[in-house]
């Protein structure tokens, strides 16, 4: 294969990676990844060496992540104050790191030298599913643009989400793409591949109609408050009174049993908020025979110094309760490699939060058991299910003002839709500037507040009970199935080794 051909294929791989992004929110064109991945699979099959397969996977990843996580530049430059050149370099470095995962999938797939088309199809999906999962756990994880999210909630493949989770959906999507790849190759135009492809999608469609969970009790009235406080004003001392007044007004205008404010809606430590203010919020919630969730900082002082928590507090008819954020954002909420970057905490003491426990239980409020997660935490499905099946509702509070008017908030909404699908639970999203929404147990957005407006989204949320297979087994089904497939892929290698002996 000539160098010009390699460059051309790498350029096309980059392009089709970028063209995969419309498969995700806000576009929701879920068939697109099926065909872009089919073309990547075709290039992988035609690559001569594992290195060239890895290069194609890397080019695809650079295209997809380069087009899909541009909102990080907005966070770093527009709101974080990072110089433009430094923000661009940081984004490129991050994309290059993320692109290593599809590169590794391509390298291993070619290295296995699989002769059977059927085993090749299964191995391609297993490797991609594993790479998406691995990306979610290494260095605290960054599973944004996991392929499976592109199928939520409308694709038939979304039916697999309650069974095998988002990484399993990634695997099944790549199985489908690999079958399409074989169908486009002359030597493999067999009806068995068509039947298998149809069977996958028909099975997904059938699973969409399985009710894994069931309603519990009557729906609860909810109000999700959206303060719409600009990120550059949020922490200014001269804006504090205005912020407090805004959320007090939105609360008084809400007659729901469950009222939820966004992440750190009150930019003060809990013990510095006027007790009279919190008492008024609690009194109004009790008047509604319900509770209010308020996002605040929590500061604890000990012999070792101060500990900061990103927390949600409940007030009202139920006993006061608290949830502390567990999964923190690197550099945004905690400092990795403190021996190199520990000095940052001397300049910004609240840039290094402490973690809440992973074993925290749902809040018993407003007649429901609410599993709270804060901002970035809803990206990690296996952590969300730690509060299930006890929880009847999920609630995500966030401040996506950091992403401006980019596609980031829409992608975050789609991630919440996948969590609803995996768990068979309503997801309530209360955000500062949007997207505030009520999502049902099928992952469908029932109501959505207009972005960048000061408003309260009022509606009904149905509590659910029961456990999907994903709640019971988490990602172990995906890991076990992928492991078995890779062992099957290695059998010819072992057999060949025994013959050589």
Catalytic residues: 263, 325, 375
DSSP class per residue in 188-209:
G--HHHHHHHHHHHHHHHHHTT
Q: How far is Cα 229 from Cα 246, in angstroms, rounded to an integer?
A: 9
Encoded tokens for 224: 């999700």
In total, the chain counts a number of residues equal to 501
Q: Which residue from 474, 482, 224 is spatially nearest to 358, judged by alpha carbons?
A: 474
Helical pair 117-135 and 476-500, crossing angle rounded to 10 deg: 130
- Nearest-angstrom CA–CA distance, 489 and 282: 60
Q: Are 44 and 110 in contact (CB under 8 A)?
A: yes
Q: Are 131 and 175 in contact (CB under 8 A)?
A: no
**C-beta of residue 420 within 8 angstroms of C-beta of residue 218:** no
Contact indicator for 277, 307 with CB cutoff of 8 Å: no
CB 102 within 8 A of CB 128: yes
Return the axis-axis angle of helices 117-135 and 31-46, rounded to nearest 10°.
Answer: 120
The DSSP code for 286 is H
- Which tokens sit at 67? 């087009």
Q: Are strands 266-269 and 291-302 parallel, antiparallel or unpaired?
A: parallel
DSSP codes of every residue in 1-47: --HHHHHHHHHHHHHHHHHHGGGSTTT--THHHHHHHHHHHHHHHH-
């Amino acid at each position: 294969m000539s160098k010009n051909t390699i460059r051309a294929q790498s350029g096309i791989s980059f392009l089709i990676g970028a063209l995969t992004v419309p498969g995700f929110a806000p576009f929701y064109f879920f068939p697109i990844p099926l065909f872009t991945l089919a073309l990547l699979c075709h290039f992988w099959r035609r690559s001569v060496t594992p290195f060239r397969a890895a290069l194609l996977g890397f080019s695809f990843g650079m295209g997809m992540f380069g087009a899909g996580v541009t909102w990080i530049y907005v966070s770093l430059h527009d709101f974080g104050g990072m110089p433009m050149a430094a923000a661009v370099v940081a984004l490129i470095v991050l994309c290059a790191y993320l692109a290593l995962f599809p590169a590794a999938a391509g390298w291993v797939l070619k290295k296995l030298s699989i002769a059977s088309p059927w085993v090749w199809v299964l191995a391609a999906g297993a490797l991609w599913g594993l790479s998406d999962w691995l990306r979610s756990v290494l260095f605290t994880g960054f599973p944004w643009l996991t392929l499976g999210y592109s199928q939520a909630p409308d694709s038939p493949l979304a039916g697999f989400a309650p069974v095998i989770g988002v990484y399993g959906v990634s695997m099944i999507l790549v199985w489908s793409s690999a079958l399409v790849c074989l169908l486009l190759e002359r030597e493999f135009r067999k009806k068995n591949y068509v039947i298998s492809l149809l069977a996958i999608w028909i099975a997904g469609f059938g699973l969409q109609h399985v009710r894994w969970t069931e309603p519990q009790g009557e729906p609860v009235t909810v109000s999700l408050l959206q303060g719409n406080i600009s990120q550059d004003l949020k922490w200014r001392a001269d804006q504090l009174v205005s912020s407090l007044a805004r959320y007090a007004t939105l609360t008084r205008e809400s007659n729901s049993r469950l009222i939820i404010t966004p992440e750190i809606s009150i930019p003060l430590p809990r013990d510095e908020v006027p007790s009279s203010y919190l008492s008024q919020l609690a009194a109004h919630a009790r008047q509604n025979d319900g509770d209010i969730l308020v996002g605040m900082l929590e500061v604890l002082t000990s012999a070792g110094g101060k500990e900061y928590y990103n927390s949600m507090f409940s007030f009202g008819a139920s006993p006061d309760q608290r949830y502390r954020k567990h999964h923190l954002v690197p550099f945004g909420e905690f400092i990795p490699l403190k021996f190199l970057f520990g000095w940052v905490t001397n300049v910004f003491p609240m840039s290094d939060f402490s973690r809440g426990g992973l074993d925290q239980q749902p809040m018993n409020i407003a007649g429901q058991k609410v599993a709270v997660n804060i901002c970035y935490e809803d990206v990690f499905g296996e952590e969300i299910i730690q509060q299930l099946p006890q929880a009847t509702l999920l609630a995500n509070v966030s401040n996506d003002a950091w992403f401006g008017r980019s596609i980031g908030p829409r992608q975050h909404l789609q991630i919440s839709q996948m969590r609803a699908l995996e768990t068979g639970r309503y997801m309530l999203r209360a955000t500062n500037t949007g997207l505030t929404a009520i999502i049902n147990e099928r992952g469908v957005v029932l109501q959505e507040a207009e972005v960048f407006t000061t408003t309260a989204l009022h509606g009904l949320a149905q509590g659910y009970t029961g456990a999907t297979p994903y709640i019971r087994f988490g990602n172990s089904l995906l890991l076990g199935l992928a492991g078995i497939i890779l062992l099957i892929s290695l059998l010819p290698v072992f057999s060949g080794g025994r013959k050589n002996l």
